[in-house]
A and B are shown apart, each in its own frame.
Chain A
Amino acid sequence: MSLKKKSRRVLFNLFAWSVIGLIAFPLIWMLVTSIKPQSELFLIPPTLLPSEITFEHYWRLIDETPFLTYMKNSIILALSTTAVVIVIATLGAHSLLRFSYPGRERLAQLVLFTYLLPSVVLIIPLYFLMIWIGLANSLISLVIAYTTFSLPYALWLLRSFMAAIPDDLESAALVDGATRMEAFIDVILPQALPGIISTALFTMILAWNEYLYALVLVNTDESRPLTTGVMSILITSFNIEWSLLMAASVMMSVPLIVAFVFLQKYLTRGFGAGAVKG
């Protein structure tokens, strides 16, 4: 029995890994292109493995384009959006889970509804608003705009993480004489910390990848984040330099890979913000 079974397993593994190879191929190609010498780029047929590895495109990206400015903006944006959203959402999720007051259920539904709302509907009034209060072309305008999608997301995700904390923990603290805020800070928050951290990472990824608001609300190189910044490198260059763009793509993806590794355990939850399970 074992020989037939073994060969079937080997065949299955071969098949499975070729499918995965195909799925991952675009990403491998991105990496390969970014470390190929310029001269090798246009060889026919293309070479899968570069004859020599070069980092010239990365250096040129940093030297000759505003890439670092974009990156700085993206980092500031991702961090500040996340900080604002996490504080608001942690308080909100705690309230939605462990307090009862009129309108609470409706509010929870509303959060889910806003999570599905298309950005293009909100963008025109937000554009007006930003010009009106004089924040157009600033990073602050983007932080405000990013809360429109990241707050519902974080709230929903945190709610699902914090729902797993048993009610008894808080009750025990209350019996010991703690006030509800003390119980929240001393008992609930430490328990919720892994959930808060992973929600923060997911929110950062959302902010890091956002494109539409950045396209509409910011029009200067000083406050452009990476997404629209890299596209402007593409548009403003005379002939498209693919190795430069692939180097930029790799650099943009590195923080995502790091976050991804940390989030392994929570991927199922974070993907749909638990929305699939309801």
Chain B
Amino acid sequence: MSADTTAKLPWFRRSYRNFSLEEKYAVLGMILIAPTVMTFCAVIAYPLIAAIYLSFFSIYTPTMEGHWVGFSNYATLLQSGEFWRSLWNNIIWTVGTLTLQILFGILVAMMLHQNMVFRSLARSLVLFPYFLSTVVAVLVWKWLFNDLYGVLNHLFMWAGVIDMPVDWLGKMPNAMLSLIFVGAWKYFPFVVIAVLARLQSIPEELYEAAKIDGAGVFARFFDVTLPQLKDVLVVIILLRTIWDFKEFDLINLMTGGGPIIATQTLSLMVYKEAFALNQMGASSAVAVLMMLVMLVFMALYLRKAKGPSE
């Protein structure tokens, strides 16, 4: 039978008509994914490879002309204080804001898990900052932080915490602390919603059993709630580390990296090198180094995310 003999040939030696149904489905599947793959190649894979390639050049942004310099961009960067300072700032910002997000997120999630009046309104109000455009969040907070007419200074002076208006964004360590705080306000709802979903799936019997054993509120939290939340928290922390580490909008809009470079993170350095100092090559090198740092967390996350679904 000719159909049998052709079926034994590898697929690329046969015409589509001789494909088995399964093979025809595979072809259809590949056709359906083709637009995705092509878009990915054009707007993600190509720029990603180009970024690495460009980091070996010295390029003047306005003319876009440049020449091959090998690893010299990297060598200059690794010897410059600014790169290490930005990396350090990046770590401080990420650790600081992430810690606040997690602590505050768990607390508010547990609060929203309780019975309270107008709970769904409360939930919406808590979650909304996450949806807000960063531009709006920054404008509002800049107005709150305003040194002459800002509400925060009034409030703190009225309460007797400070005697003079505080410069929240123009001085260190205020600028970094303000950033960390606003970042926590903007992004903690992510923790709230993920934790809340998990809390709702903890079986009530666990708490009942702990109560019978005489566990108080705190014991129940540390012995029942926290172990149940552990897995979800690991994933949340990995995701938020990645997202906070690459944050650009909030920092650029709040302080622009200032005073001088005291709050400049790697994302901001990439932007500054490329579009303020006109050094595209050096900027790409910063971007590549930044991605290398992030790759560690991405790999960890991808392993975690893959695990439970299989």
Contacts and interface: CB of A to CB of B under 8 A. Distances in A.
A20 interface: yes
A216 to B, nearest CB: 7
Contact of A121 (B146, B154, B158, B291): B291
A183 to B, nearest CB: 11
A99 B22 CA distance: 9
Contacts of B37: 107
A112 B36 contact: no
A73 to B, nearest CB: 14
Interface in B196-246: 196-197, 232, 235-236, 239, 242-243, 245-246
Contact of A180 (B25, B196, B246, B291): B25
Interface in A253-267: 253, 256-257, 259-260, 264, 267
A246 interface: yes
Given A12-B116, A16-B116, A27 B46 contact: no
Q: Please list the 6 inter-chain residue pairs (A to B) with the smallest Cβ-Cβ separation, ordered nearest first.
A: A99-B29, A125-B50, A118-B246, A92-B36, A125-B47, A95-B32
Contact of B136 (A87, A249, A275): A249
A23 B126 contact: yes
A53 interface: no
A62 interface: no
15 contacts: A16-B122, A27-B129, A30-B140, A46-B154, A88-B39, A99-B28, A101-B27, A104-B33, A118-B267, A120-B246, A124-B50, A131-B64, A211-B133, A257-B128, A278-B305
Contacts of A211: 133-135, 248-249, 253
A96 B39 CA distance: 16
B250 to A, nearest CB: 9
Contacts of B125: 20, 23-24
A197 interface: no
A13 B127 CA distance: 18
Interface stretch (B67-75, B170-178, B296-304): B296-304
Contacts of A29: 140, 143-144, 151
A95 B29 contact: yes
Contacts of B243: 116
Q: Is the interface of A mostly helix, strand, loop or mixed?
A: helix
Interface residues of B, number: 95
A127 B139 CA distance: 27
A147 B39 contact: yes
A162 interface: no
A59 interface: no
B179 interface: no
Nearest to A205: B131
A121 B248 contact: no
B134 A278 contact: no
B36 A88 contact: yes
Interface residues of A, number: 93
A4 B88 CA distance: 51
Interface in A87-138: 87-89, 91-92, 94-96, 98-101, 104, 107, 109-114, 116-129, 131
B81 interface: no
Given A20-B126, A120-B287, A245-B139, A94 B32 contact: yes
B190 interface: yes
A166 interface: no
Q: Is the interface of B mostly helix, strand, loop or mixed?
A: helix
Contacts of B288: 121
A26, A129, A151, A267, most chain B CB atoms within 10 A: A26
Nearest to A243: B143
Given A13-B117, A17-B116, A23-B129, 9 more contacts: A20-B122, A41-B149, A116-B301, A121-B288, A122-B48, A231-B135, A245-B143, A260-B131, A278-B235
B87 interface: no
Interface of B: 25-30, 32-33, 35-37, 39-40, 43-44, 46-48, 50-51, 54, 64, 108, 111-112, 114-117, 120, 122, 124-137, 139-141, 143-144, 146, 149, 151, 154, 158, 185, 189-190, 193-194, 196-197, 232, 235-236, 239, 242-243, 245-246, 248-249, 253, 267, 270-271, 274-275, 280, 283-284, 287-288, 290-291, 294, 298, 301-302, 304-309
Interface of A: 9, 12-13, 16-17, 19-20, 23-24, 26-27, 29-30, 33, 41-42, 44-46, 87-89, 91-92, 94-96, 98-101, 104, 107, 109-114, 116-129, 131, 144-145, 147-148, 151, 155, 180-181, 205, 208-209, 211-212, 216, 226-227, 230-231, 234, 242, 245-246, 248-249, 252-253, 256-257, 259-260, 264, 267-268, 271-272, 275-278
A116 B126 CA distance: 25
A77 to B, nearest CB: 13
B2 to A, nearest CB: 25
Contacts of B302: 109, 112-113
Contacts of A113: 298, 302
B270 A278 contact: no
Nearest to B307: A278
Nearest to A89: B36
A92 B32 contact: yes
A212 B134 CA distance: 11
A37 to B, nearest CB: 15
A146 B154 CA distance: 41
Contacts of B246: 118-120
